[in-house]
């Protein structure tokens, strides 16, 4: 049943794209590295990567138009090794290459010891919250015009870039899976593109946290908020208020931690920004 539904969704997506209902639009910046985005020309309107559907767009009006009628927009895991990777499209393997990228280190001092070494009661809560967040980040909703560009959700300098190798109190932790924007406390957070609120809550590490689903496997998350002004199920347009900047959860000061997930892979948010001049 799952395969039938998946194939039906892929067919509907291809039909919608082919009918011209989804207009040509600028593509995100190609960066075929761990934590980046690969743009892979295709002859068909659907593809999967590591068993998950990926966003596929028409190439009309793009530099890929002379190569193929479609292009897959593929998020590459930070854990990926340099070398060949493959998409599956109509039972065919389509190879593409990724290159290496070395990210800088960041060492932070956290005064709340439980935020570095959680107690058992914390681990149970963290597990529940992780399941909820991963479910929302991995959602696939083939609806509406695909989003390929974002405006910044907050105004301020980029304080911690994507991909940093992080150490909390000299203990290694997972790489930085988002972009930190050092905006003042209570400054506004706005929607970077149209979307639907799919999760909102107060989490152990992320503090007050919000997730927006933009469709076709593109999902964004907003962490350490002071206030959340929307609710699950709300539809928002570009520029609509989401809440305010804070320092809730595991944070050393007010900022917005902005996560971008593509085909359930966390990628560099600046690849979706027209002019990331920070």
Give per-residue pLDDT as tens, 177-203.
889 999 999 999 999 999 999 999 999
Task: List the Cα angle 11/84/95 in 5-degree steps.
Answer: 35
Average pLDDT over residues 124-133: 86
Q: How many of the other CB atoms lie within 10 Å of CB of 94?
A: 18
* Mean pLDDT score across all residues of the chain: 85
pLDDT at 110: 58
Q: Which residue has the higher pLDDT, 119 or 271?
A: 271
Round to whole Å and give the CA distance between 50 and 69: 23
Please tell me which residue, 168 or 262, carries the higher pLDDT value: 262
Cβ-based neighbours of 5, under 8 Å, separated by 6 or more: none
Share of the chain above pLDDT 90, in %: 63
Q: What is the pLDDT of residue 139?
A: 94
pLDDT(33) > 50? yes
Mean pLDDT of 32-46: 95
* Choice between 186 and 92, residue whose per-residue pLDDT is larger: 186
**pLDDT at residue 105 in the model:** 65
Residue of 107 and 181 predicted with greater confidence: 181
pLDDT of residue 12: 44
H runs (alpha helix) in 37-171: 120-137
| Mean pLDDT, residues 18-31 taken together | 69
- Would the pLDDT of 260 be above 70? yes
Please state the rounded mean pLDDT for residues 234-253.
94
Task: Give the separation between CA 266 and CA 78, rounded to whole angstroms.
Answer: 8
Which is more confident, 11 or 193?
Answer: 193
Q: Tokens representing 198?
A: 């799919």
> pLDDT at position 7, please?
33
Select the more confidently predicted residue: 23 or 27.
27
User: What domains, with CATH codes, occur in the chain?
Assistant: 2-98 (2.60.40.1590), 105-272 (2.70.70.10)
Tokens of 264: 């359930």
Confidence label for 109 from pLDDT (cuts 50, 70 and 90)? low
Least-confidence region, from 33-42, 111-120, 207-216:
111-120
Looking at residue 168, what is its pLDDT?
A: 53
Confidence of residue 275 (pLDDT cuts 50, 70, 90): low
At 159 the pLDDT is 85
In this structure, the strands spanning 105-108 and 165-168 are: parallel
- Nearest one of 250, 256, 243 to 156, comparing CA atoms: 256
Q: Is 83 helix (H, G, I), strand (E, B) or coil?
A: strand
Distances (CA, A) of 75 to 2, 26, 66, 173, 193: 23, 17, 23, 22, 18
């Amino acid at each position: 049943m799952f395969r039938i539904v998946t194939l039906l969704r892929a067919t509907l997506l291809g039909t919608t794209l082919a009918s011209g209902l989804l207009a040509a639009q600028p593509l995100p910046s190609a960066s075929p590295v761990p934590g980046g985005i690969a743009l892979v020309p295709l002859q068909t309107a659907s593809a999967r990567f590591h068993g998950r559907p990926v966003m596929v767009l028409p190439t009309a009006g793009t530099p890929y138009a002379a190569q193929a009628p479609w292009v897959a927009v593929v998020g590459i895991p930070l854990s990926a090794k340099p070398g060949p990777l493959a998409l599956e499209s109509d039972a065919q393997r389509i190879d593409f290459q990724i290159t290496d990228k070395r990210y800088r280190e960041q060492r932070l001092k956290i005064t709340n010891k439980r935020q570095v070494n959680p107690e058992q009661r914390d681990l149970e809560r963290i597990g529940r919250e992780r399941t909820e967040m991963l479910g929302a980040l991995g959602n696939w909703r083939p609806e509406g015009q695909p989003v390929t560009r974002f405006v910044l959700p907050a105004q301020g300098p980029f304080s911690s870039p994507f991909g940093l190798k992080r150490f909390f109190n000299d203990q290694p932790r997972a790489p930085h899976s988002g972009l930190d924007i050092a905006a003042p406390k209570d400054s506004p957070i706005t929607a970077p593109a149209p979307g639907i609120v799919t999760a909102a809550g107060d989490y152990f590490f992320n503090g007050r946290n919000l997730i927006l689903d933009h469709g076709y496997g593109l999902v964004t998350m907003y962490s350490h908020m002071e206030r959340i002004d929307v609710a699950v199920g709300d539809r928002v347009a570009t520029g609509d208020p989401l809440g305010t900047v804070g320092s809730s959860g595991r944070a050393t000061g007010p900022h917005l931690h902005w996560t971008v997930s593509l085909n359930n892979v966390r990628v560099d948010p600046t690849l979706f920004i027209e002019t990331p001049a920070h």
